[in-house]
Amino acid sequence: MTDKEPITMDDIARLARVSKPTVSRALSGSPLVRPETREHVLAVARQYGYAVNRNAQKLRHKRTNTICVSIDYGSFRKNHITDPFIFDLLAGVSEALGELDQDILLCSPKHNGFDFLQQVYLSRGADGFIFLGQGHRENLLQQFSSSTAPFIVWGAKKKNNRYCVVGSDNYRGGMLAGNYLLGKNRRQILFVGDISHPEIGFRRRGLEDSVARCPEPVTVDVLVLNSFSFESALASANHYLSRATGTPDGVFAYSDTAAMAFIYAFQKAGFAVPGDVSVVGYNDLSSAAFFHPAITTIRQDTYLAGELLVKKLMRLVDQKKTVSGFIPTELIVRET
């Protein structure tokens, strides 16, 4: 049981009684071919189920029309996806890339380091890269920025970044959350998240700045979380509640997942949400809407994000200039 010999352009040329270049032109829609010739060639190609070998095509072209997408698998743990937001983003990016007829090369966890990615570029496996999740991959990204590969990152802009970033307006997200909590008369606010992540640092700063405008005294405490997982957030929450001197009356969590963990912990500890504590999350995961109580959160449109990431990356691939950009953030008020 062997594969039938695949049909080549030569075969189609012979069958259509034209030359190979004519077949090539007809198939690529070149104007340099008579309409009748084109129709005839296309008909023969269709009849024999011919498809241009894309590897030969890519070999001849400089462009591969492939974009490599690297996910921050640091947010993963074996057997457990800890924050699904990154997949919302992937869906947005995949949609935008599809619209431009770009192939998507998805990196697996094993092939997510600098060497492999660099190799993909040098071996003409992709024209450019999209990094979903900055997380703690600063080193990788800095390394990458001294290579010539075009790439763009979902995350936040840092001063020493030499690469372009698309992200939600984290600072404004923080301000929105702060204003919301202040409006609920919350005065002892807890910020939850790893502020060494640039994105999360901005959210915290936005929170602090909104609080600074409040005429009454407000405290902002920061609880650093070192993992993206719910379990770890829950452990931190329990630990915090067990030793906190005063209980916060407002929480701004860096993700909906963390918000859920804190709500859970507060409820178990006998506090009512939102009676005793108001909580604001981030990302507007679909599960945030139907958590009980439904979580007030900051939304960022992942389809817009995908579009912007792709648009900017394609400029870089085309050797044009581009700059970092932001997706607007929006406060979604629900029950907490």
Partner DNA sequence: CTGAAAGCGCTTACAG
Q: Which residues bind a second copy (CB under 8 A)?
A: 1, 3-4, 6, 49-59, 62, 64, 69, 76, 78-82, 84, 87-88, 90-91, 94-95, 97-99, 101, 103-111, 118-119, 122-125, 148, 230, 234, 257, 260-261, 263-264, 267, 285-287, 289-292, 301-303, 319
**Helix and strand numbers, DSSP H then E, in the chain:** 13, 14
> Is residue 129 helix, strand or coil?
strand
Show the tokens assigned to 151. Answer: 């790439």
Q: Which of 18, 182, 285, 327 binds DNA (CB under 7 A)?
A: 18
Under the binding rule (CB under 7 A), the answer on residue 64 touching DNA is no
Under the binding rule (CB under 7 A), the answer on residue 39 touching DNA is no
Q: Which of 43, 47, 48, 53 binds DNA (CB under 7 A)?
A: 53
Burial group, residue 250, by CB count within 10 angstroms (0-12, 13-18, 19+): buried
79 binds, among DNA, a second copy, none (CB under 5 to 8 A by kind): a second copy
Residue 1, H or E segment: none
Minimum separation from the CB atom of position 57 to DNA (A): 4
Minimum separation from the CB atom of position 266 to a second copy (A): 11
Q: What are phi and psi of 61, to 5 degrees?
A: -80, 155
Under the binding rule (CB under 7 A), the answer on residue 46 touching DNA is no
- Within 8 A by CB and 6+ apart from 212, the residues are none
Q: Are 200 and 187 in contact (CB under 8 A)?
A: no
88 binds, among DNA, a second copy, none (CB under 5 to 8 A by kind): a second copy
Residue 312, H or E segment: helix 302-317
| Residue whose CB is less far from DNA, 53 or 287 | 53
| Residue whose CB is less far from DNA, 27 or 195 | 27
Q: What are phi and psi of 264, to 5 degrees?
A: -55, -50
- Measured CA to CA, the distance from residue 148 to residue 162 in angstroms comes to 12
| Residue whose CB is less far from a second copy, 165 or 265 | 265
- Looking at residue 17, the DSSP 8-state letter turns out to be T
Q: How far is CA 15 from the centre of its chain?
A: 47
Cross-strand bridge partners of residue 296: 280
37 binds, among DNA, a second copy, none (CB under 5 to 8 A by kind): DNA
Angle at 166 between CA 178 and CA 98, to 5 degrees: 130
Which of the stretches 5-13, 128-136, 164-172, 253-261 binds DNA when contact is defined by CB under 7 A? 5-13
| Residue whose CB is less far from a second copy, 62 or 159 | 62
235 binds, among DNA, a second copy, none (CB under 5 to 8 A by kind): none
Strands ordered across the beta sheet of 278-280: 219-223, 188-192, 250-253, 278-280
21 binds, among a second copy, DNA, none (CB under 5 to 8 A by kind): DNA
Under the binding rule (CB under 7 A), the answer on residue 28 touching DNA is yes
| Binding-site ranges for DNA (CB under 7 A) | 6, 8-10, 18-22, 24-25, 27-28, 31-35, 37, 50, 52-53, 56-57, 59-61
